[in-house]
Structures are given as C-alpha cells and as structure tokens.
Structure 1
Amino acid sequence: MAILGEDSLKKKKTEEAEQKKLEEQENVTWYHEGPPSLRDARLAIAQYSVPRARLRLAKAREEKEIPATQRNARRQETYKKARALTIESSQIGDTRPLSFCRFSPNGKMLATSSWSGLCKLWSVPDCRETTTLRGHNVNVGCIVFHPQATLTLDDSACCLASCSQDGSVKLWSLDSDEPIADIEGHAPYRVSRLAYHPSGRFLGTCCFDHSWRLWDLEACEEILHQEGHSKPVYDIAFQTDGALSATAGLDAFGRVWDLRTGRCVMFMEGHLKALLAIDFSPDGYHIASGSEDNTVKIWDVRQRCCVYTIPAHTNLVSHVNFQGGSGGHLISASYDGTAKIWSHSNWAPLKTLAGHEGKVMGADSSPDNHYIATCSFDRTYKLWAVEH
C-alpha cells in the first residue's frame, strides 16, 4: 500500500469494476421488438404445448406405477438390442462429404445433405436413391422433415426444409425435385442448422449473425429474431411439447428459451469450447449438448444445471440425438470417426459404431428404433440394425 499509494489502489478497483461490467454485458440477452403476429404465434404455441405437456406427465406417472423390476427388464432389452447393432448396408451418398442425415417420420425414407449442394432421398432399407433435390449452389448443412411428412401431410405440401452456407433456406415437397419456396432474410450469413417445431407450423433457423429466427410457415413471415449469444448460433432443438427451444452457440454456451413468453429460462455454462450439437430428450426435461471439447453434457431443465458430463470422444462431438423415452438411448457422432450409443439412465456406453473412414458428421435413429443412420466426411452413409 505504501508503494502503490491510495490513488493507484482506487484506480485498480475502478478498472476491475469496469472489466466485470463488460463481462456481464457480453452475456446480456437482447430482445428485438416482434410483429403483432408474434403474440398470436405465442398463443398458438401455448394452446398446442399445454395439452401435450399434460399427456406427457400423465404417461410419466403411469410409467412410475410399473414395478421397478419390469421397467429394468424392458430397459435391459432395449440396451441388449443397442449392443447387437451391426452394419446392415453402406451407400456412397455423393461426390462430396455428407453433412447431415434424417429419417422420415414413417421411417421408410432417409434424407441426406451434401457439400455438393445436393440433397437426396433414399428408400430404407434397400438404400435406393429416389429423389435428388436441386436448388442449393453451395454446401448444404442440414435437411429436416416436417413432423407429419409421410404420415398425414400431402406429398405436394411443404414436407422438407434445408439450409446452406450462403444463407439460403429452401422448402421442398416430396413430389418435385425443385424447391417450392425460399425463406429469405439470412444472407450473407451462413445458416448452419434448422428444426421444425413439433406442431409443424413453425421453423427455427440458426444464423451466423449471432441470432436464431422463428418463422411462421402459415403466415410466411419471420415472427422472432432472437439474439443472446455472443458468437454464431450453430444448432437448435425443440422440446417434444413445443413449449421450449434450446440453442447451442459457438460462444461455448447453450440457452433454453420459453417460446410462450420469449424469455431465456436457462443458461447452460460449463463447456470449454464451442457447442456444435443440442437435443431434447423425449422426457421433456433432459438436454444433451455436444462440444468441441470432446464431451457431451446432460442438463436438467428442472434443476437448471448440468447433471452429468460424458467424456464421449477423442475429437469434437458433431451431433447428438435422443431416441426413446426413459428406457431409450442417446447417440453421439464425432470427428474421431465413430458414433456411440449411451444408456439414458446412467449414461453408460452401450455400443461404438465404428466403420466410417472419415469424420462422422451426423446420426439419426428411425422412429421405430429399428435402424440408426450415420453419415460421414468419407461421402458414405451407413444403416445400422440388429442382426437377425
């Protein structure tokens, strides 16, 4: 104190206070003023999500009444099938790396996207190419099915959505290889991932301008432009009820948003590097996040904290995907060339799916849990199933 003097100490305290203030400002959530249609959309989401939440909770209570021995037996049967998975078929998907794969809601079709700018639809399980979707000019990052496509939705309706590096988002039908609509407003920023709201009416997109957007496909307009991350938003997922969305940012943070109020209800802090993948569990309150720090973290929305960290891979985690309920499993894909399956209850490893010669870019499980698909930098996708 004698050497520094009183003025120097005061100056040091002021500098520390300013630094702390700057750090707090970086994590402030910014809210844009929304159009009048946003209020109607939030009301529609509330009316959609509340009955579904009631049904999910009723189902959880019913499951709780089942004797523990019976539940464990069912769980062990599921895990036994996961451990018995082998490659059923392998197919070259394109001339460039495949970036994403997704099963159709009826499980009879697989959509893949590629860095060539093409998206392709394949029949399952014979891996025959049925349609090539042409419209993107640069790397396609993601392609997803409408929740009711191949089920109750007409083939001529908007059944798929895809996004690319130049910021273009295109909507597709199943009876044409040309896009039926373009969603404009992201360019020149990259759109890395997108996801349909469970109702099918809304589409969430992740943009490299540090924001994510919510689009009303019925009204054909952007109803929400949400900031909150200090770096690009890379992935988005919706809760099964449709009440919440979760976003993964390259700032190493995840956020959970209440779509009915627009508020950020949970801040996920704990990863050491950028988040590249996020997904909601069917139970409605667990979230898995995959990161460049090679780990997968499990978060509990009820406790608003991380409940488990899985040291999953030896390279970055590119994709995470929950499948099944409490007796289900979690799939993680990584640049170490493997995809892994983890038990839902204690997050123990069940199976390593090794067979690709390059980075595994994406993975998905069919709705009936019969197949798992993985796509890779080696330009192939593989179907995994239990050997009969």
Structure 2
Amino acid sequence: MLRYMNKVGFICLFSFFYVGMSLFHCAFGHYFYPSVATLDLNSGLEEKENVNNMVVLSDKRVALVFAHKHIKVLDFSEADCQPSVITLSQGTEANQIKTLMPLNNQQLVSGFADGTITVLDLSKPGQEQCVATLKGHSDWVVAVIPLSDGRLASASVDKTLKVWDLSRPVGEKCVATLRHDEWVAAVRQLPDGRLASISTDGVLKVWNLNNPRGERCLATLTTDAVSELKSLLLPLTRGRVVTCFSVKVVNIWDLSEPYPEKPMATLIVSENESLKTLTELADGRLVSCAANGVKVWDLNKPDGKQCVTTLNEHTGLVRSVVQMPNGWLASCSEDGTIKLWNLKKSYEKQWMGTLDHDGTTSGSLVALPNNRLVFLSHEGVVEVWDLNKLVHRNLFGRCILF
C-alpha cells in the first residue's frame, strides 16, 4: 500500500511539475512562424555557385547576383510566396558583375570588372532590356547609385567618381569626373544633394555638383577608415555620415557647414571581432552587428552611453539585420538562426522568436513591404517567412503543452 501511494505521489508531483512548466512556457513563450517557401538556386547544377549581392527591386521582387555572372530576379507576388525566377545573363568569368543597384521599380544598374556600367529595364522584352551601356571607367566599378535628379554616380578602383546623365546622347553621358588619390571605396548622396565619397586611404570628400568644375570639392577629411569596411559610408539625417575608423570603431561626422576637423561621436561597436554591418532604423538609431551580438545606438545620448540595447541571444557571428515593416528587427547569424526582436518592449521581453535557416554559415536578409522576411544564404538557398501568419504564441489562453 505504501509503495502504491509513493508511486501515486510521484505521478502527481511529475504532473504538477509538467503542467507548471507548460504554463510558464505559455506565459513567457515566443512567436512561432513556419517557413512558407523554400528555393535552392543551385538545384540541378553540378557545380554549386554562390550569391554575391541582393537588393530589393520593388514591393514583391528581389534582384541578386549569382556566381558573379548572372542577375536573377525573384518575384514573391504569388499567394504561396514561392518565388518565380528570371535569369539575366550579363557577366562572364573574365568580366564579373561587381555591383548591383535598383533605380526604380523596373530598372537595375550593374557595374562590371572592366569598368562598364549597364542599365536594365525589366519592363521591356528580354532582348531590349539593356537600355544603356556606360563606358569611361578603366577598372572595376565598386558602386553605382541613383541621384535625386535622375542622374547616376559611380565609384571605381581607377580612383575616380563619375556622374552620368542618361538623357544625353551616346558618348556624352558622362558629365563629371571627380578624383581621389586612391581607390574610391564608396559613394553616397547626402540629404541635401551633395555627394560624399571615401577612398581606401581613409580620405572622405564632399562634393557639390552644382559648383564650377574646379570648385566641386567642398571638403577633404582624413577619417582613418579602413578598406575592410569600405561599404560603411552611411548617410544619416541632418547631413551626418558614418565612417569606419577601424574594424571595431565607427565615427560619426557632421558634414553641415563648417566642415569638422574631428568626428562628432565615436562608437566602439565591437571589442573582439570586426563589425559586419551597420544599419539606420526608422527612428534614427543605429544597429550594429558583430561577434558580440546586435547593439542599438542612440546618438542623442552622452558619450559612453550611446549603446542603449544589446541583443545577444545568438551564439554565432551576426552578419545581417533588417527592420521589418511592423517595426521589429530580424537578425541573422552563423548559428543557423534568425532572431526576431521588438525594441518597444522592456529589455527582458524584446526577443520575440527564433527562425531556423538552411544556410551552412550565414546569408542576407531582406524585409519586403508586406511583412515577409526573405533569407538568402551564400550557398543560394532562399527561404521566406510571412510574419502575418502566426502559427501560435504561447500565452495564457493559447497554451500548447509540450
């Protein structure tokens, strides 16, 4: 009898523990979403190729560079989110595609290793999609950006910036050439229309294209930036830009008049590993990704207190972070996960859920305007999550016992 009562007591105790843990899980659980579509761009290929770049083309389309030789356009407009794929062959092994940028909902511009720039209009038939070929650079094109007046600006290893007017006749489209002493690593347009460019020697230059030819360079600043993060020339509001002082530190420069001799703020974004990416949020704060997780920075705070949040649920290097239309953040790590964060909640409740991705290392994230999240691994695996389709959230009243 005693043995029987002990067994009953054990069962009751285990049941109490089980239900208690389940209720705890329900009270403090996270969101769960299914992957709604998966596509392997390497399917059927004998030799696997990598994805080199990815940009949002329009509301439901994404363009990417595949194997440095092809541009692929993925259309996510179908209800099941399964993307249709259009392949545009442009580059070769000897003349690879080095950069890709959308101009509007129907046009893409790409830069090549030989210095050529092409403009594609996807609204036209296949043989007529190349609407412009720009020649003038003598080495590979690092970046091409659209300007607010409809022109283009390009940066090249040949130490020059060029400005292009597509409305002009063939042979006359290059309307300005601006020079650095070293390779031009990045170019951005400031909110007031001026250009900012940085070269691999860390020199930041500010240009006014409306001035006469000899007076276009308004300022030359030595930033001590490093070429490893040459893409981190990030324009902010009110004429500010971000440059990388080292692989662990970024500087914030105020480029309004008069031009500064030193940065207005310096952020130590990482102490162990190099910074991988930096993103500006809709509210003006910055988000950095590195080995020590994701950090959120508020430049309005005093020196030493600009880091307002550290999101460190990842166990691997974080390489990509995007802000979703609903305001959440999504961060992608080499630990095989994508974490969802809601910065409007208190610190201990900001982590909203985890998505598992199929990348063997990591990849890039793109947030589509319809609140869909696209992950593209470097190995060519595309996965899509629809954050509007919640499977369940483990809260009281919607508990699922595990």
Common fold, TM-score beyond 0.5?
A: yes
What is the distance in 2 between the residues matched to 1:89 and 1:134? 27
Contact 2:279 2:286 in 1 (8 A): yes
Q: Does 1:92 align with 2:49?
A: no
Structure 2 equivalent of residue 116 of structure 1:
68
Structure with higher Rg: it is: 2
Q: Does 1:101 align with 2:54?
A: yes
What is the distance in 2 between the residues matched to 1:100 and 1:345? 31
Structure 1 equivalent of residue 338 of structure 2:
339
What is the distance in 2 between the residues matched to 1:133 and 1:203? 32
Structure 1 residues 139 and 276: alpha-carbon distance in aligned structure 2, compared to 1, 3 A threshold: farther
Structure 2 equivalent of residue 288 of structure 1:
287
What is the distance in 1 between the residues matched to 2:220 and 2:91? 25
SS state of the match for residue 298, structure 1? Answer: strand
What is the distance in 2 between the residues matched to 1:384 and 1:171? 33
Structure 1 residues 187 and 266: alpha-carbon distance in aligned structure 2, compared to 1, 3 A threshold: same
SS state of the match for residue 100, structure 1? Answer: strand
TM-superposed CA distance for 1:247, in Å, is 3.4
Please provide the CA RMSD for this pair: 4.1
TM-superposed CA distance for 1:168, in Å, is 6.0
Structure 2 equivalent of residue 251 of structure 1:
247
Can you give the 5+ residue segments of structure 1 that lack an aligned partner in the other structure?
1-79
Structure 1 equivalent of residue 311 of structure 2:
310
Structure 2 equivalent of residue 269 of structure 1:
268
What is the distance in 2 between the residues matched to 1:232 and 1:225? 17
Counterpart residue identity of residue 301, structure 1: L
Contact 2:51 2:377 in 1 (8 A): yes
**Partner residue of 1:145 out of 86, 99, 102:** 102
Out of 264-273 and 240-249, give the one that drifted further: 240-249
Contact 2:91 2:97 in 1 (8 A): no
**Partner residue of 1:185 out of 153, 156, 161:** 156
Structure 2 equivalent of residue 37 of structure 1:
none
Q: How does 1:203-242 map to 2 (within 5 A)?
A: 208-210=200-202, 227-234=222-229, 235-236=231-232, 238=234, 241=237
TM-superposed CA distance for 1:282, in Å, is 0.7
TM-superposed CA distance for 1:252, in Å, is 0.6
What is the distance in 2 between the residues matched to 1:344 and 1:237? 25
Contact 2:327 2:342 in 1 (8 A): yes
Structure-1-length-normalised TM-score: 0.60
TM-superposed CA distance for 1:216, in Å, is 8.0
Structure 1 residues 134 and 260: alpha-carbon distance in aligned structure 2, compared to 1, 3 A threshold: farther
Structure 1 residues 256 and 114: alpha-carbon distance in aligned structure 2, compared to 1, 3 A threshold: farther
- Per-residue deviation, residues 151-201 of structure 1 (Å, max 9, x unmatched): xxxx46xx44568xx696956333435874353532599988x68648696
Structure 1 equivalent of residue 385 of structure 2:
384
TM-superposed CA distance for 1:297, in Å, is 1.3
Can you give the 5+ residue segments of structure 2 that lack an aligned partner in the other structure?
1-28, 43-47, 123-128, 135-140, 142-153, 160-181, 391-402
What is the distance in 2 between the residues matched to 1:225 and 1:93? 44
What is the distance in 2 between the residues matched to 1:300 and 1:173? 39
Contact 1:99 1:376 in 2 (8 A): no
Counterpart residue identity of residue 145, structure 1: P
SS state of the match for residue 236, structure 1? Answer: coil
Counterpart residue identity of residue 342, structure 2: S
SS state of the match for residue 264, structure 2? Answer: strand
Structure-2-length-normalised TM-score: 0.59
Q: Does 1:350 align with 2:352?
A: yes
Structure number with the higher helix fraction is 1
Counterpart residue identity of residue 156, structure 2: G
Q: How does 1:318-337 map to 2 (within 5 A)?
A: 318-324=319-325, 328-337=327-336
**Partner residue of 1:132 out of 85, 88, 101:** 88
Contact 1:213 1:225 in 2 (8 A): yes
How many residues of Structure 1 are paired with residues of Structure 2 in the alignment? 291
Counterpart residue identity of residue 227, structure 2: P
TM-superposed CA distance for 1:363, in Å, is 0.7
TM-superposed CA distance for 1:238, in Å, is 4.3
Structure 1 residues 370 and 214: alpha-carbon distance in aligned structure 2, compared to 1, 3 A threshold: farther
TM-superposed CA distance for 1:249, in Å, is 5.8
Contact 2:250 2:269 in 1 (8 A): no
TM-superposed CA distance for 1:267, in Å, is 1.0
TM-superposed CA distance for 1:283, in Å, is 0.9
Q: Does 1:299 align with 2:297?
A: yes
Counterpart residue identity of residue 226, structure 2: K
Structure 1 residues 251 and 217: alpha-carbon distance in aligned structure 2, compared to 1, 3 A threshold: same
Contact 1:93 1:112 in 2 (8 A): no
- Per-residue deviation, residues 62-114 of structure 1 (Å, max 9, x unmatched): xxxxxxxxxxxxxxxxxx9x93543222223354222432222x412101234
